[in-house]
Structure 1
Amino acid sequence: MSILREDALSVAFDHASARYDLLVAASPGYHGHLRRSARRLGLPDEGRGARLLDLGCGTGASTAALLATAGRAHITAVDASPGMLERAAAKRWPAEVRLVRGSADRLAEASVDGPFDAVFAAYLFRNVPDPDLTLACVRAAMAPGARIVVHEYALSGRPVHRALWTAVCRAVIMPLGRACGDARLYEHLWRSVLGFDTAQEFATRMRSAGFADVRVLPLPGWQTGITHTFVGRVAA
């Protein structure tokens, strides 16, 4: 098996959607890390009146993380997988949350119109066909001075973190995926992280896309050196 391409990946997410929340809940720190990254948007007054774009919302874990820190914001949550969105839609959300099916590099086709005051993208860029195109599309949808946070598996570049990721995938993540009938998705997860940018490479990619003040921030626990928060902004 290899890294899944866009259409096959969407099908794999659809297939896994019924069990997805159970599997991520078994990952130590998963939801806490999302909340930590959401707080790093640094939105004042709980995001009062702000327009937030939640890209790759999946079953709504990132949306819930945003609500925990920006409960007064208007959130547009977007995902390309109908199955994942169906699971998200089955949950209770305040009226300020809107769920939309769409691709991150074709937001206008999904009637997702900016400008947005902040963007949160969790576990997205590793899965898009063209990260540079997606960054450009996202930047075009942001208001001057808007903030972006990307929460992503992006290895440090150190061999120890690459080895740890493989060990965790082989010992825990992929066996659980196989047990749930979703082997393809979780093999893709393993391989896609190994093939993606290192943390510093992705930060450079963000700067090349025109984002200013880009910073790479660590996350605690076993994901140190494996998952990072990337913070940036659009120049005012």
Structure 2
Amino acid sequence: MSILREDALAVAFDHAAARYDLLVSASPGYHGHLRRSARRLGLPDEGRGARVLDLGCGTGASTAALLTTAGRARITAVDASQGMLERAAAKEWPGAVRFVRGSADRLAEAGVEGPFDAVFAAYLFRNVPDPDTTLSAVRAAMAPGARIAVHEYALSGKPVHRALWTTVCRTVIMPLGRVGGDARLYEHLWRSVLGFDTAREFAARMRTAGFTDVRVLPLPGWQTGITHTFVGRVAA
């Protein structure tokens, strides 16, 4: 199987939405790592008055992570999958959270307009057709001095981490996906990570898009060398 195209990927996420929360809850550190990456945005005073864009929100795991550190922010959560958004919207949220269906590189078409004071993007850039175009669109929606944190599967470049990712996918993630009838999605997950930027390459991509103070921060557990937080800013 090949990596899924954007339209087919949205359909695959729609199909997997009902089982998605259960599957990710079985991943050690999944929610804790999202909270850690959200904290790395470094929003002061729990984000009081800040406009925060949560890109690729899925069923709301990243949104919930943001609320633990930016509970006073106004959060706009965006995803391309209607099924995932329906699962997210069915949960209880503060009134300052809203969910919107749209593509990260076409935010204005979905009625999502900046400027935003912060952007959180979890497991997004590996799934977009053109990461450079999406980074540029996101940066254009950010206010001067705004912060960004990207939480993403981006391998270190070391063979051991590539091998570990394949082992975890073949022995745990993909078999669980087949049980739920979502084999194509989790085959895509495995292949898309192998084909995506290394951590160093994605950091360079962010700098090319105009972000400053870009840093690559590791995450603990088995995901070390596999999942990273990328933080940066828009120049003031």
TM-score between the two structures when normalised by the length of structure 1: 1.00
| Segments ≥4 residues shifted beyond 3 Å | none
Residue 113 (structure 1) shift: 0.5
Partner of 1:126: 126
Whether 1:154 and 2:150 are equivalent positions in the alignment is no
Partner of 2:218: 218
Which letter maps to 1:7? D
Partner of 1:181: 181
Partner of 1:24: 24
Whole-Å Cα distance in 2 between the matches of residues 71 and 134 of structure 1? Answer: 27
Give me the identity figure in percent.
89
CA RMSD of aligned residues (A): 0.2
Partner of 2:76: 76
Partner of 2:87: 87
Task: Write out per-residue CA displacement over residues 168-214 of structure 1, whole angstroms, 9 at most, x where no aligned residue.
Answer: 00000000000110000000000000000000000000000000000
Which letter maps to 2:65? A
Uncovered stretches (5+) of structure 1, i.e. residues with no partner: none
In the TM superposition, what are the counterparts of 1:28-177 in structure 2 within 5 Å?
28-177=28-177
Whether 1:233 and 2:233 are equivalent positions in the alignment is yes
Whole-Å Cα distance in 2 between the matches of residues 212 and 183 of structure 1? Answer: 39
Residue 233 (structure 1) shift: 0.2
Residue 119 (structure 1) shift: 0.1
Task: Write out per-residue CA displacement over residues 96-123 of structure 1, whole angstroms, 9 at most, x where no aligned residue.
Answer: 0010000000000001000000000000
Aligned length: 236
Partner of 1:201: 201
Whole-Å Cα distance in 1 between the matches of residues 110 and 8 of structure 2? Answer: 20
Whether 1:12 and 2:19 are equivalent positions in the alignment is no
Whole-Å Cα distance in 1 between the matches of residues 69 and 30 of structure 2? Answer: 16
Whole-Å Cα distance in 2 between the matches of residues 141 and 187 of structure 1? Answer: 32
Residue 2 (structure 1) shift: 1.1
Whole-Å Cα distance in 2 between the matches of residues 79 and 8 of structure 1? Answer: 14
SS for the counterpart of 1:66 is helix
SS for the counterpart of 1:49 is coil
